[in-house]
Structure 1
Amino acid sequence: MPSVARGGARLLRDLRRCGDSHWRLRQLQVCTSTEIELVRWLECQAWSGDQPRAVVASHQTQSHGQHGRVWLAPRGGVWLSAALPWPHPIRATGLFGLVVALALTEQLESQGVPVRIKWPNDLLVHSRKLAGILPTLVFRGSQVRLARVGVGLNVCNAVPSGAVALKQLLPAGRCRLQCWQGAVLQALDRSMDLARDPAVVVREAERRLWSDRVRDPKSGEDWQVRGLGLDGRLLLSQGTQTCSWTRWGDSNGGSV
């Protein structure tokens, strides 16, 4: 059973001071996964479609990232899963992930963090992972019923090799966990605005891409990054040959 944390009311008060009082929040001390808790919440209380919800945990014991990879979530980081109303033109999960990545990047840049987007859904600082995003679009027929997203952001927590936390980048006074929980929720609000113009999202995400080259994990070949498609896919070239990835290392189409 998840344990309820104190502090949810304080987080809501902080959001109200910023003009963001429309969130429904559940704040937990520890749970297996905020994704699991969010799904249970949505099943128990039918989604009305007009008010975003988020589950925020101090610690997750069985969190996961892309393709089921383990994502360490000890105390001191922002670990949350949210459900958003999504009456927007974006219908591709890949582009939805980039929208959230861009919105969170803007929040971090406003604090002087030199963050870059590692396609499809990671945020890096000097090649070290700072945050990860797990996007899901839930459809009813051909229409998006809701958008779900999990966010993990290293703040004051211990991190493994190859990762970085904000406490290593910013003064202690700018690493208050509750402030960054609010900042992530504000980024999710911002993502709903950004989604109105997919072309702008693609342009701004391209400017912030981590590298202009990628290595195919299957073949070991290097590919030049040409940009992003309007569905969020990564566009690549190698001489006269072109291809695109919808997931890391998955070739999709091509020409010679």
Structure 2
Amino acid sequence: MVAAAVLNHQLRAGGGLLHRLRRHQAAAWRLQCKPVCASTELELNHWLQAVPWRGEWPRAVLADHQTRGQGQRGRRWEAARGGVWISAALPWDASGGHADMLGLIVALALAERLEQEGLPVRIKWPNDLLIDSRKLAGLLPRLVFRGGRLRMVRIGIGLNVANPSPMGAVALRELLPHGRARRDFWTVEVLRALGRVQTLANRPEVVRLGIENRLWAHQVQDPQSGETWDIQGLASNGALQLCQGTRTASWTRWPDGTLDNLYNLAR
């Protein structure tokens, strides 16, 4: 681990974030911080186009406020001030790990950090973190290939901290004592969780068991057929394993296609 962040000329976060990164021995990052932007995903796209990816440093774009955040399948949403809104690009060691479990790997790493604050986190397969059935964080994993080779992994993260939480969601300010729901602290925690991605990717069985121990439910309803299935656990590739009596099923995405666990973006 490198004890400092590598900051580019667009950094606007001030000294607090850098101090916390140094104090907690966070991995080296190239960061761009935006007071407001349409989408951190779009800003990361522009950055990668302007300064081609060499894989030497992980990169992340952070925003105080997003006006057109990108969710699953291109859904748009507004991310208010007070939350942690990050889009990151990380190198990937293709010699080990399951890239198709990227979203689950990040979910587990972030859940572990939240649990250190005593929070009872549950993971709604494949990409959401819940507290008492209310959404606390969402993840958008992407794999970027070129010429059939995995070039980088990308992950978008939205974590409700001190922002107003929408219907059905919850923010850390509602769960933690005053002073523990600070955006700068949780920005560092998210970056630290991302720093664990490759380590966990090389331990797929640890990830599988960790996710199974935190699954949000014992049963799930097929949104197309209305059938109820018992959740048995995860396959080695992160697929959700289901049964209904003697019948079995394996989902790599929700049947209506609204939540994809894998994005293949050719660049």
Fold shared by both chains (TM-score > 0.5)? yes
Query: Could you give the per-residue CA deviations for residues 106-155 of structure 1, whole angstroms, max 9, x where no partner exists?
Result: 01001111110000100000000000000001112333110000000000
Shift, 1:90, TM fit:
3.3
Q: Is the CA contact 1:8–1:26 (under 8 Å) kept in the aligned structure 2?
A: no
Q: Is the CA contact 2:108–2:207 (under 8 Å) kept in the aligned structure 1?
A: yes
Q: Is the CA contact 1:234–1:245 (under 8 Å) kept in the aligned structure 2?
A: yes
Q: What letter matches 2:192 in structure 1?
A: Q
* Aligned counterpart for 1:90 among listed residues 74, 77, 97: 97
Shift, 1:50, TM fit:
2.3
Match of 1:161 in 2: 167
Match of 2:263 in 1: none
Q: What letter matches 2:118 in structure 1?
A: G
Asked if 1:116 is matched to 2:139, the reply is no
Distance 2:124 2:162 in 1: 22
* Aligned counterpart for 2:106 among listed residues 87, 97, 100: 100
Distance 2:193 2:69 in 1: 21
Match of 2:32 in 1: 26
Q: Is the CA contact 2:98–2:204 (under 8 Å) kept in the aligned structure 1?
A: no
Match of 2:49 in 1: 43
Shift, 1:231, TM fit:
1.4
Change (3 A) 1:91 1:141: farther
Shift, 1:75, TM fit:
0.4
Task: Describe the SS at the equivalent of 2:195.
Answer: helix
Distance 2:59 2:53 in 1: 9
Aligned residues: 247
Q: What letter matches 1:53 in structure 2?
A: R
C-alpha RMSD over aligned residues: 1.6
Distance 1:170 1:125 in 2: 12
Q: Is the CA contact 2:67–2:77 (under 8 Å) kept in the aligned structure 1?
A: no
Task: Describe the SS at the equivalent of 2:12.
Answer: coil
Shift, 1:21, TM fit:
5.1
Distance 1:191 1:250 in 2: 28
Query: Could you give the per-residue CA deviations for residues 141-173 of structure 1, whole angstroms, max 9, x where no partner exists?
Result: 333110000000000001111000000000121
Percent sequence identity is 56
Shift, 1:13, TM fit:
2.5
Task: Describe the SS at the equivalent of 2:117.
Answer: coil
- The answer for unaligned runs of 5 or more in structure 1 is 252-256
Query: Could you give the per-residue CA deviations for residues 63-120 of structure 1, whole angstroms, max 9, x where no partner exists?
Result: 1222223344100100000001110423443x11000000000010011111100001
Q: What letter matches 1:90 in structure 2?
A: G
Q: What letter matches 2:204 in structure 1?
A: P
Match of 1:69 in 2: 75
Shift, 1:5, TM fit:
6.7
* Aligned counterpart for 1:212 among listed residues 218, 221, 226: 218
Query: Could you give the per-residue CA deviations for residues 5-43 of structure 1, whole angstroms, max 9, x where no partner exists?
Result: 732543122101111251110000000100000011111
- The answer for unaligned runs of 5 or more in structure 2 is 1-9, 258-267
Asked if 1:146 is matched to 2:158, the reply is no
Asked if 1:181 is matched to 2:219, the reply is no
Distance 1:69 1:108 in 2: 26
* Aligned counterpart for 1:201 among listed residues 203, 207, 214: 207
Task: Describe the SS at the equivalent of 1:51.
Answer: coil
Q: What letter matches 1:238 in structure 2?
A: Q
Distance 1:223 1:25 in 2: 43
Q: What is the TM-score normalised by the length of structure 1?
A: 0.92
